[in-house]
Chain A
Amino acid sequence: MDEFEQELRQAFERQPAPLGLKRSIMASRRRSSAPRGHTVLWQRLAATLALAAVLGGAAVWHQREEQRKGEAAYRQVMTALRITNHALDHMNKQLAAHHRASQQ
């Protein structure tokens, strides 16, 4: 029993950590975390590029849409003026004809 207790005491005896253990653990941790940092960086870059592409696309689409609307509005104004001009022209002709008829 004494022998067994002695063996146990020897086994549980506090021993100093081997030299360089801490350094090797920290180094291995750094090694494992380094590729993960790169991945996050690439992910962020990809997300930024995707967002920039979406925003740029939206801006171009908005600009084209504004141009299309403006050109359509321009055509409508011209058609409106043509119709107005035609109506006034017809009115002038009608009034002139009535004037001539009343003189005769």
Chain B
Amino acid sequence: MHNRIITFIIAAAALAMPAFAQTAQLPAPAPIEKELATRASNVDEITMSKNMLAAATLFMNGKDKDEVAVQKLISGLDGIYIRDYEFEKEGQFTAEQVEQLRKYFETSEWSPLVRDRDRKTGESTDIMVKMVNGKSCGMFILDVEPKEISIVMILGPVGMEELGKLKDLAFLGIMEGTHHTGPDNARKKNSNQ
């Protein structure tokens, strides 16, 4: 009887494991994010699991080459974690706050790829990659400008080459500053060009 209960618990844990594994990959928000969000004039906070990314691909036009490219890019991803804080004026966040953000995400599984600092302007860029068995399994970007902080974490097989293709997607330029544009509106704007 006792053995049966133990077997049942192990089986239940084994069944529940994939669900936990899927959500465990995306990080919890950094504590400093709340502080930055209250000071920022414009905040974008996006956390999407693999399932949500799959749901988004259903609304993409299979005939539009840009949307096909996006579909291809996100179809293999495990999740995305994006934060963007835009500030009215310069100096609304400190170098210490940026450092806290950096330390929060800088864990042993991420290897630094680019580390760029401009001491005059305070601008900086950090790019880290997550390598598993020699393959890229994630990318992290922390971009700091005088009036903007962007955090980009992409989990899944993605490389700089794929991300570099983003600049070729026409509708991303249209989306600039129009955060709440729906798919239909975006397509309309795209076709008007």
Binding site for B on A (CB under 8 A): 66, 69-71, 73-91, 94-95, 98
- B1-37 CB contact bits vs A (8 Å, 1 = yes)? 0000000000000000000000000000000000000
Task: Please name 4 further chain A to chain B contacts, defined as beta carbons within 8 Å, in addition to the given A80-B46, A87-B141, A87-B150, sorted by A numbering.
Answer: A69-B55, A77-B53, A84-B141, A88-B163
Interface stretch among B93-101, B129-137, B173-181?
B173-181
Binding site for A on B (CB under 8 A): 44, 46, 48, 52-53, 55-56, 58-60, 70, 73-74, 80, 82, 84, 114, 116, 118, 123, 125, 127, 141, 143, 145, 150, 152, 154, 163-164, 166-167, 169, 171-172, 175-176, 179-183, 186
A94 engages B166 (CB within 8 Å): no
Q: Which residue in A66, A76, A88 is a CB contact (below 8 Å) of B56?
A: A76
A98 engages B116 (CB within 8 Å): yes
Bound: A58/B127 CA distance, A: 46
Interface of B is mostly: mixed
Q: Which residue in A73, A79, A95 is a CB contact (below 8 Å) of B175?
A: A79
A-B contact count (CB 8 A): 112
Bound: A83/B163 CA distance, A: 12
Can you report 23 A-B residue pairs in the complex whose CB atoms are below 8 A from each other?
A70-B58, A74-B60, A74-B183, A76-B48, A77-B74, A78-B70, A78-B172, A79-B44, A79-B46, A79-B179, A80-B80, A80-B82, A81-B70, A83-B44, A83-B46, A84-B141, A84-B152, A85-B172, A86-B84, A90-B123, A90-B150, A94-B123, A94-B125
